[in-house]
């Protein structure tokens, strides 16, 4: 169904063989409230348009036909008013006649910024919209335009006679002038403290948590965490620290907390999934917004160091009613980020959610599951962690407008406490039968980026030492959990599969083979929080890049294995 406006008349066009005739201008004109189409310049063949439409040359000079399924809209230079050329005899047109003043009032309502007169609260973009069957919507309240009209007052206010009562809207004060391209685009920047505080729905939304310490191995190991085969490797940890910070071994202060906010927007596009924002900026720190390079996701634009979202995209965002949960922060096609940056926050959130809370999932996950090259199933992972019974919704839109949203602030692995990580691990393990002995030796083989250049040599060594060789892409999340909860020794190249270290029993020995040009301490942090004995071995890469293949020094690998075996024996 199309909702169109022209010269004071609102027309609803059913998807049937019907043709409507419109007046100029041609070639460019915004013709809809619920969608916008730019008519193409003169052309000779069909031209695709947004909204599953196409433009085709008209049958008469100077006309253009817009076609969507079986519905046609003809733009004609000299038609004085909209008419309906019925393709089938006797088929009635659907018209809503308005006076010019009434049409102007409706246009002002849909295009302007408004405030509720009785409490000075702004009406968020998208709350006031034109829906099907000539319903003017204010949130969940509908004004039937076939029987009622908005009442324009001389002072510029507009009165809506809704079934629930009369609502008066007054023009919202203009936003402060800025050099940023507003209001055409909406700046995504950190929200100020006063706006953030105002957005928190209740004081109980914040969970007071004491400082906690990492769960470390024995005292002798504490001074050498992680273990290395030579002094130069230990120095390497601190000479090129990740993100400019020395790895956080030892005492660690818990920073995670629960947040409940109302009337927010959520980005659901690839790499920025989980960013929550409002008129005053971004109110969380999830996602990769600050790291975006190259082509921007749809509806986002960059100007110098600032990132903007198009206001029109925000206005069209569908509204979700009731409490929803955002528990992830970008790069969701990566197994590590789903297990550690999504399941861990969801585990932290779950005890504090209302019973009717719904998990809000990006529609991109469905596309990923349908891809035969996808490496894991997000829904299966939810079930493996015990969240399979929670209500969930997958939203295909790039942005959605959420009535109430819950999320965990500062809940990445470097910020979460040892207790919270253990609780997330136990949630998955407690669903399984009691484990057998933890005596399996596992070597994780990578098949894509960051492979071992001398793989044959390494595989010969690990097989001789009694290790099983596994490719994680061949296993479900549940199967990976089962494998790692029986592990006594794990050797792996730095990569997403090492997220499974969280399922290893305390004391499991780990050798992490890492590219030597970019150390990321995620897996050493998992080990230190859960009491694993972690060794790390920096290796040169073939091309000097983080994703390049690594060359393993077999002498150092053998030395690390002997060091870990000796510690175990001692």
Domains recognised in the chain with CATH numbers: 2-97 (no CATH), 100-171 (no CATH), 219-253+421-569 (3.40.50), 257-409 (no CATH)
% of the chain with per-residue pLDDT over 70 = 68
Q: Taking the complete model, does pTM exceed 0.85, yes or no?
A: no
CB count within 10 Å of CB 508 equals 24
**Residue range 418-428: average pLDDT?**
92
The mean predicted confidence, pLDDT, of the chain is 76
Residue 209 has pLDDT above 50, yes or no: no
Residue 383 has pLDDT above 60, yes or no: yes
Query: Which range (24-38, 70-84, 196-210, 520-534) has the least confidence?
Result: 24-38
What count of residues does the chain have? 570
**Residue range 438-461: average pLDDT?**
94
| Amino acid 214: pLDDT | 53
Q: Taking a C-beta distance cutoff of 8 angstroms, is the pair 282, 272 a contact?
A: no
Cα 334 from Cα 375, distance rounded (Å): 8
**Residue range 146-172: average pLDDT?**
89
User: In 244-262, which positions are buried (b, 16+ CB within 10 angstroms) versus exposed (e)?
Assistant: eeebebeebebebbbbbbe
**Rounded alpha-carbon distances, angstroms, from residue 23 to 82, 111, 435:** 7, 22, 75
Per-residue pLDDT tens for 455-474? 999 999 999 999 999 999 88
Residue 259 has pLDDT above 80, yes or no: yes
State in Å, rounded, how far the first CA of the chain is from the last one. 75
Token digits of residue 483: 């494998």
**Residue carrying structure tokens 């990566």:** 334
| Amino acid 135: pLDDT | 76
Q: Taking a C-beta distance cutoff of 8 angstroms, is the pair 528, 249 a contact?
A: yes
Q: How confident is the model at residue 324 (pLDDT cuts 50, 70, 90)?
A: very high
| Higher local confidence (pLDDT), 226 or 248 | 226
Query: Which range (225-234, 336-345, 475-484) has the least confidence?
Result: 225-234
**Rounded alpha-carbon distances, angstroms, from residue 290 to 142, 178, 188, 519, 564:** 39, 22, 10, 20, 40
């Amino acid at each position: 169904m199309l909702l169109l406006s022209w010269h004071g008349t609102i027309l609803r066009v059913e998807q049937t063989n019907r043709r409507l005739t419109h007046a100029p201008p041609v070639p460019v004109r915004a013709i809809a409230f619920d969608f916008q189409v730019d008519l193409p310049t003169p052309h000779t063949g069909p031209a695709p348009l947004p909204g599953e439409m196409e433009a085709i040359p008209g049958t008469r000079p100077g006309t253009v036909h817009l076609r969507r399924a079986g519905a046609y809209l003809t733009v004609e230079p000299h038609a004085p008013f909209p008419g309906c050329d019925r393709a089938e005899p006797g088929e009635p047109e659907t018209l809503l006649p308005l006076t010019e003043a009434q049409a102007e009032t409706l246009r002002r309502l849909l295009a302007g910024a408004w405030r509720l007169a009785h409490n000075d609260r702004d009406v968020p973009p998208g709350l006031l919209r034109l829906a099907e069957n000539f319903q003017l919507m204010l949130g969940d309240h509908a004004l039937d335009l076939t029987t009622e009209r908005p009442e324009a007052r001389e002072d510029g206010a507009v009165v809506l006679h809704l079934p629930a009562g009369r609502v008066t809207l007054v023009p919202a004060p203009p936003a402060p002038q800025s050099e940023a391209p507003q209001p055409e685009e909406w700046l995504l920047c950190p929200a100020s403290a006063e706006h953030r505080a105002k957005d928190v729905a209740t004081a109980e939304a914040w969970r007071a948590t004491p400082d906690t310490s990492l769960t470390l191995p024995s005292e002798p190991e504490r001074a050498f965490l992680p273990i290395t085969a030579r002094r130069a490797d230990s120095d390497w940890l601190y000479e090129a620290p990740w993100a400019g910070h020395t790895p956080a071994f030892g005492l660690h202060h818990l920073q995670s907390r629960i947040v409940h906010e109302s009337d927010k927007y959520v980005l659901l596009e690839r790499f920025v999934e989980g960013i929550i924002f409002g008129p005053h900026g971004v109110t969380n720190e999830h996602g990769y917004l600050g790291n975006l390079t190259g082509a921007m996701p749809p509806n986002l634009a960059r100007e110098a160091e600032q990132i903007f979202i198009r206001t029109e995209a925000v206005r069209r965002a569908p509204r979700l009613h009731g409490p929803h949960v955002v528990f992830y922060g970008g790069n969701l096609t990566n197994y590590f980020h789903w297990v550690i940056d999504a399941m861990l926050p969801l585990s932290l959130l779950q005890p504090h959610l209302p019973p009717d809370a719904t998990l809000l999932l990006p529609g991109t996950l469905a596309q990923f599951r349908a891809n035969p090259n996808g490496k894991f199933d997000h829904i299966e992972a939810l079930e493996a962690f015990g969240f399979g019974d929670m209500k969930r919704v997958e939203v295909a839109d790039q942005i959605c407008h959420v009535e109430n949203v819950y999320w965990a602030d500062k809940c990445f692995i470097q910020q979460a406490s040892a207790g919270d990580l253990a609780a997330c691990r136990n949630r998955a393990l407690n669903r399984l039968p009691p484990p057998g002995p933890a005596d399996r030796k596992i070597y994780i083989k990578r098949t894509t980026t960051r492979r071992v250049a001398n793989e044959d040599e390494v595989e010969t060594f690990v097989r001789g030492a009694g290790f099983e060789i596994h490719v994680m892409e061949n296993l479900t999340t549940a199967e990976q959990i089962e494998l790692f909860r029986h592990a006594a020794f794990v050797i792996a190249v730095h990569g997403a599969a090492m997220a499974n270290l969280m399922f290893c029993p305390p004391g499991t020995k780990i050798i992490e083979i890492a590219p030597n040009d970019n150390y990321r301490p995620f897996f050493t942090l998992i080990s230190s929080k859960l009491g694993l004995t972690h060794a790390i071995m920096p290796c040169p890469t073939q091309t000097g890049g983080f994703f390049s293949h690594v060359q393993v020094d077999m002498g150092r690998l053998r030395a690390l294995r002997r060091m870990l075996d000796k510690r175990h024996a001692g």
